Chain A
Amino acid sequence: MKHLFVKRAVAATLAAALPMAALAADKPESLKIGMTAFLTGPASVFGVPARDATEIMVENINAEGGINGVPIDISFIDEGAGAESLTSEYRRMVESGGAEVMLASISSGNCQTIAPLAEDLQVPNLMWDCGTQRIFEENDYKYVFRTQANATPEMLASVIYLLKTKPDFNTIAVVNQDYAWGRDSWDIFSTALKAMKPDVEVVAEFFPKFGSPDFSTEISRLQALNPDVILSTSWGGDLDTFVQQASQRGLLNSSTFVLPLAESSLERLGSALTEGHIVGARGDHYFLHPERRDDADFQAFMKQYEEKTGEVSVYPVFHASQAMAALTTAYEKAIADNGVEWPSEEQLLAALEGLEFQGLGRPVKLREDNQGVEAQLMGTSVQTGDYPFATLENIMIFDGAELTTPVGEISTEWVGSLDAGFVDSVSVDTYEN
């Protein structure tokens, strides 16, 4: 794929040299897009499924002729190579590689760097996975859109589920990754929790380095403190290691774990994740989604994915499906609305505004600040024996609109203004499993 880029760089440069007209653009030979994901390092257990899933989706789209006959040509950038390498590659892909749309990123830290860069380079960028809520709250963007929720609804869903299922706990500790996501998600969770349950006591806050291989000391300390609840918004290899080590030391028996991102680790954790822990999926993403698992398109994709990778789908896959759905829906809408063969950049951006699309979960809608509104699924872990790993029971799906910070407000302030009554006021659909 990279050789194609080199060959077509000349054509792309020439095309880029033409002024961006408000009129329709000529149909390109292919729609070049770039996607960033963690392909190496501990976070790769998260990024590689997304890449595999996106490749399947692109193949499916191209098999049907592409978007209005234009096939998609996708390249991947490894976020695991570091922020500098990422920004260099991103620039190169946009400036000389001819990419029309970019999908970036997984890491909240990388999104914070890339959002202003995308705006500067004037390339439409879909934030397909990162969670930090600060990006749209601190700035307005024309070129950057988020095709999923952000930390606020996700953390609120976790807090509400916790308060509904375990209302009488007293102490909580947190073990989060030391970077934007870990810090921001804790800010929101703790503010919400203290607003809705003021008597709770935070007994410890740990922020081990992203990619940490060893949590022994943190686990010792937690055992000594013995909190009722332990929160960790970690994901990928870090979460795997933390849960496995905690399991070995018996910490999972003495505290209830709240793991809002653990859905992506269920299969890898196997029997290490015992029963009774709260698991989230950063959206309504679950390979046994109660509302979608009987739909034909859902089943077909699950089957394709399992055949290709040998694993069940996890939420990065769902997020990728939402980004791809947004992409194709936006192009089709722009083409239809303007009656052209292929939209200009202005037309594409106009189509993205307020777009509604559906990936593998419930439909998602983009608000006026380009933030996506997504439903949130939470459940409790159970080892049923049907699978060699934990699945979820007592599943609650919350409507995203009520949990997302109103446009123009700052999350920590809005969340801090809620109270205990909020817990019961949110609409929820409950399922046994």
Chain B
Amino acid sequence: MTTTTEQSKVNARMKNPLFLLWIIGILAIAAVPFAMPSLQLLVSFAMAKGLGVLGVTVLLRAGQVSFGHALYFGISAYAGAFLMASMPGTDFVIVMIAGTLGAVLAGLLVGLFVVRYRGIFFGMLNLAFSMIFWSILEKFYHYTGGADGIRLPRPTVLGNTLDHVQFELVLFYTAMVLMVALGWFTTRWFASPIGQLFQTIKTNETRLEYLGVSPRRALLSGYLLSAALCGVGGVMMGMAQGVVTPEYVWWVRSAEMVFIAVLGGAGSVQGAFLGALIYEFVRTYASVYAGDIWQMILGGFLLIIILFAPGGLIAILNSLFNRGSGKGGTGK
């Protein structure tokens, strides 16, 4: 990676109309609590989920799909809830750190095991671990609250106890800042040496070994990042909802995350968030106005994307904005 190539890439990106679109998008989101307050909670959820999907997206860059990433989403949320239960009035930053640490720890334990596998087995093993955790959450009622879950009471913010309107606002902007920061970080990570090695697992893993690099280590590094991202999303979601239930780790949730990743554009950072936003919108409004068939609507939507735009929404946007301006685009 020479400096000139990087510099020209940055230049290209600045001129890319799509980049402008992202800036506008972020500004629009920043305005939501004032312009359209009824959407605030929905967008908060979407951003939290988007972080979770970003975790899945990271793995997609290595060509691996995890069908159990809801595990990290849930572990993080439960870690936050347990912390609040044992130390009420904790600051929300501490809760987030605790949640993310929990997710990373779990990611390490599971990751050490699953990085030996590829393809379908990788996916299925992640599924198995998430289902084991789900079973534990459901059955050990006296520790985990069982199917009803546990409450996650409002944490303090910088020493202040806030009411629900103020806290939701804080959460919203925190999620937004994290979205931009972690999204940027992930993009940089992909460009870094570790990230490049990680992505080689998709293109030609055997050559990695010939180079003397352990593919397992490379995959593990990406796996930990993905668990951390998922964890941040999970604890934010837990704080936004106020309750964490075993539903957080149910396998359909993991599949939905993969769905959103592909909907947005497999492997694209922006795609993860865009996909999450669209998904939350469709889900909320479909279930309010077409309560009986919202799953059908989402399923049909996914089918259309797979059949006609398998690159996801990002690919559609790319082709719309970069037609005629040569090869452009920010993500794969």
Would A and B touch once assembled, by the CB under 8 A criterion?
yes
Interface residues of A (CB under 8 A from B): 2, 9, 78, 81-85, 87-88, 91-92, 95-96, 107-110, 112-113, 116-117, 120-121, 178-180, 183, 207, 209-210
Chain A residues whose CB sits within 8 angstroms of the CB of B141 once the complex forms: 178-179, 183, 207
By beta carbon, the residue of chain A nearest B39 is A96
Inter-chain contact B38/A109, CB cutoff 8 Å: no
Inter-chain contact A120/B38, CB cutoff 8 Å: no
Known interface pairs A78-B291, A113-B151, A209-B147. Does A96 touch B38 (Cβ–Cβ under 8 Å)? yes
Inter-chain contact A179/B291, CB cutoff 8 Å: no
Complex interface bits, B118-160 against A, C-beta within 8 A gives 1, otherwise 0: 0000000000000000000011010000111101010000000
Chain B residues whose CB sits within 8 angstroms of the CB of A2 once the complex forms: 288-289
Inter-chain contact A109/B242, CB cutoff 8 Å: no
Chain B residues whose CB sits within 8 angstroms of the CB of A82 once the complex forms: 245, 247
By beta carbon, the residue of chain A nearest B294 is A81
* Interface residues of chain A: helix, strand, loop or mixed (majority): helix
Distance between A95 CB and nearest chain B CB, rounded to angstroms: 8
Contact residue among A84, A92, A116 (Cβ-Cβ distance under 8 Å from B245): A84
Question: How many angstroms between the C-alpha atoms of A180 and B56 in the bound complex?
Answer: 34
Contact residue among B38, B138, B163, B243 (Cβ-Cβ distance under 8 Å from A209): B138
Interface residue B41 (Cβ < 8 Å from any Cβ of A): yes
Contact residue among A85, A88, A120 (Cβ-Cβ distance under 8 Å from B41): A88
Known interface pairs A113-B243, A183-B141. Does A85 touch B287 (Cβ–Cβ under 8 Å)? yes
Chain B residues 264-299 with CB under 8 Å of chain A are: 284, 287-289, 291
Once A and B bind, how many residue pairs between them come within 8 Å at the CB atom?
A: 68
* Interface residues of chain B: helix, strand, loop or mixed (majority): helix
By beta carbon, the residue of chain A nearest B245 is A83
Chain B residues whose CB sits within 8 angstroms of the CB of A183 once the complex forms: 141, 146
By beta carbon, the residue of chain B nearest A81 is B287
Chain B residues whose CB sits within 8 angstroms of the CB of A116 once the complex forms: 151, 153, 242
Question: How many angstroms between the C-alpha atoms of A82 and B287 in the bound complex?
Answer: 13
Inter-chain contact B151/A112, CB cutoff 8 Å: yes
Known interface pairs A78-B291, A180-B148, A183-B146. Does A83 touch B41 (Cβ–Cβ under 8 Å)? no
Chain A residues whose CB sits within 8 angstroms of the CB of B148 once the complex forms: 83, 107-110, 112-113, 179-180
Question: How many angstroms between the C-alpha atoms of A209 and B138 in the bound complex?
Answer: 8
By beta carbon, the residue of chain B nearest A97 is B38
Contact residue among A83, A107, A179 (Cβ-Cβ distance under 8 Å from B243): A83
Chain B residues 3-25 with CB under 8 Å of chain A are: none
14 additional A-B residue pairs with CB within 8 Å, beyond A84-B247, A178-B147 = A82-B245, A83-B245, A83-B247, A85-B287, A87-B241, A91-B41, A92-B38, A110-B148, A113-B149, A178-B138, A183-B141, A207-B139, A207-B141, A209-B138
Of B38, B243, B288, the most chain A CB neighbours within 10 A belong to: B243
Report 24 cross-chain contacts, Cβ distance below 8 Å, ordered by A residue.
A2-B289, A9-B38, A82-B247, A83-B148, A83-B247, A84-B243, A85-B287, A87-B242, A87-B243, A88-B45, A88-B241, A91-B41, A92-B41, A96-B38, A107-B148, A109-B147, A110-B148, A113-B151, A120-B163, A178-B138, A178-B147, A179-B141, A209-B138, A210-B147
Question: How many angstroms between the C-alpha atoms of A140 and B200 in the bound complex?
Answer: 59
Interface residue B323 (Cβ < 8 Å from any Cβ of A): no
Question: How many angstroms between the C-alpha atoms of A4 and B141 in the bound complex?
Answer: 41
Question: How many angstroms between the C-alpha atoms of A178 and B139 in the bound complex?
Answer: 8
By beta carbon, the residue of chain B nearest A177 is B147
Of B41, B141, B148, B153, the most chain A CB neighbours within 10 A belong to: B148
Distance between B255 CB and nearest chain A CB, rounded to angstroms: 16
Question: How many angstroms between the C-alpha atoms of A108 and B164 in the bound complex?
Answer: 24
Q: Closest 7 A-B residue pairs measured CB to CB?
A: A109-B148, A96-B38, A179-B147, A113-B243, A83-B245, A180-B148, A179-B148
By beta carbon, the residue of chain A nearest B284 is A88
Chain B residues whose CB sits within 8 angstroms of the CB of A81 once the complex forms: 287
